[in-house]
Structures are given as structure tokens and as C-alpha cells.
Chain A
């Protein structure tokens, strides 16, 4: 193999590796709060830098937010990351989505009020 061809192949493989690794990282990087149960949004979704938030809030346990309840009781050592909130907090298609909106608000605003830290007013989370 010619030297030039070898360099080009190496570069392609290297770029491929970088791309693969980067895309893996970017999948981990949560930047907004999303839930497929919201068919159409009245207000823009909430920007949320997952890792940065947890670092700032000093959250180590996933299930502080990604909780699991069984028969109305918190299951202490179980957690639900990777699930959408609406998988448990179900709403039917065409239903008033306020109850689902409410559990998101309770989760974010509720904790912010409790800790007296973080945004609590509508427009602080829902940008225009």
C-alpha cells in the first residue's frame, strides 16, 4: 500500500472513531425536558442541562428525580431513568394534559421551592 493511501485510510478510521465516540456522548447529553405524551406544546419546552443541573444541585442519586412508586409508596432503591414520566403518569389521548403538566411542575418547581434555588416562575423555565 502506498504511504499516501495508508494515511488517508488512517484518517478516515480516526474520524469515524471520533464521530462514533462523540455521537455516543451527545446521546447522553440531555438538554431539554421532553415527553412524547405532549402532542402539541403551548409553551416552548424547557431547556435543561441534565449533568450541569445535577452537579450544581449536588444530586448524586438518580432516583431523587427518577423515582418509582408502587401502590402509592416510594420504592427506595429503585429508579426509573430512561422512562418518560408519562409512562406512569398516564394521560389518555385528547385528554386535558394539565395533570401531566402538573407532575412536571411539581417535580421541578416543587423541588426549587423546597430548596429555595432554581427557577419557579413560568417564564424562567419556558423561554420564548
Chain B
């Protein structure tokens, strides 16, 4: 167990962070190059003012027509995104590991709070899964990769919850939890999870075109 733990919490962490950062950088650069080659007007129309205006509307709950039309979806999607970014960064157990490895630490949430937020995150994943299966318009656009991505995102939270509550097999689950987190991090650049990095640009461009060219709102 020591060797496995040391491997997944050592070299594999390095690998996943390097893949994450290098992969995101690669995706950003290659997308920028592709955009210049295929559609020069992306750069022509890109406007900081209109781009930011659109982004701000879309990252505000109920700030767009789409958000207002689907209030439940809006609440779930915002809570979900806040949870999956917030929990891993501010979990005390993670901060202890940062402290052990790098001597750095920061503010953290209580384990009870983390527990509740994790349940919310897992429940949100179940909601997204059901939504994909039940809603015809979403099902039509769903491919296998969407389920895989959902599983990749849900896995760290399910395994983490399992380990924390020390249900049977929690040692193995703890190892799987670390691997699941690393898988998610490494998968971001190469799946549609890249929207984490791309959204300011895609949304920014749409906002720019709608604002500067069509003189219309895109929210």
C-alpha cells in the first residue's frame, strides 16, 4: 500500500498537473492558430468591452434569458460548478497535503461543510445524467463521451465521499480517489471539459459579434 500510495500521490500528481497545464496551453495556442487560419474575423471582431459584457451576464445566475427560462437548471448548474471548483481547493485534507509537500496553506472549510457540498455535487451529477436521458432535446445531442465526461467529473467526489465516511474498502477507495482526481485534471485539456479554459474566449467572441456587429444582446 505504501508504494501505491507514494506513486499515486507523488509522480502521478506531477504528471497530471503537467498534462493539465501543458495541455491547456497547447489547446489555447493551437485554437488561436486555427482561428487565425480559418476565420480571421474572429480577431477582427473580438472586442474586450462587448466580450466582457456577455461573460458577466452569463456568469451571473439568472443574468440571461436562458438562465431565467430554466430556473432549476440554472440553480443546479451554478451550484455544481461552484462546488467542484470550491471543494477540492478548500478541503482541509487537501490543504494538509499541500502543507506537507510545499509548506503552503490557506483558508479551508470545515469537513462537515465539505461533506454537505460533496452531496450537492454528486446530486447535481445525477441530475445532469437524468436530464441527458430524459429530455429529448438533450438526448438528441448526447454521445457516449458526454457520459464519460460526467463519470470523470463525478468520480473524485463519489470516491472522496466514500473514503471520508470510511465505508468498506476505504483504503482502496482512497487510492482510487487520488487517481480519479488526477484523471479529471488530465482529462480537462483533451475533452469538452476544456470549456473551463475556453469559455471566456467562446463566450467573449459571441458577445463581441452580437454586440459590435449585430448590435444585439446574446443573453
A residues lining the B interface (CB < 8 Å)? 42-43, 96, 98-99, 101-102, 105-106, 109, 112-113, 116-117, 120-124, 127-128
Contacts and interface: CB of A to CB of B under 8 A. Distances in A.
A1 to B, nearest CB: 60
B174 interface: yes
Given A42-B111, A120-B2, A99 B99 contact: yes
Given A98-B99, A122-B93, A123-B163, 15 more contacts: A98-B92, A105-B96, A109-B100, A112-B2, A113-B2, A117-B2, A120-B1, A120-B2, A121-B174, A122-B174, A123-B164, A123-B166, A124-B171, A127-B166, A128-B166
Interface residues of B, number: 23
B174 A123 contact: yes
Contacts of A99: 99, 105
B37 interface: no
A94 B16 CA distance: 36
Contacts of A123: 163-164, 166, 170-171, 174
Interface string B84-119: 000000001101100110000101101100000000
Contacts, number: 51
Contacts of A96: 105, 107
B92 to A, nearest CB: 6
Secondary structure of the A contact surface, majority rule: helix
Nearest to B95: A98
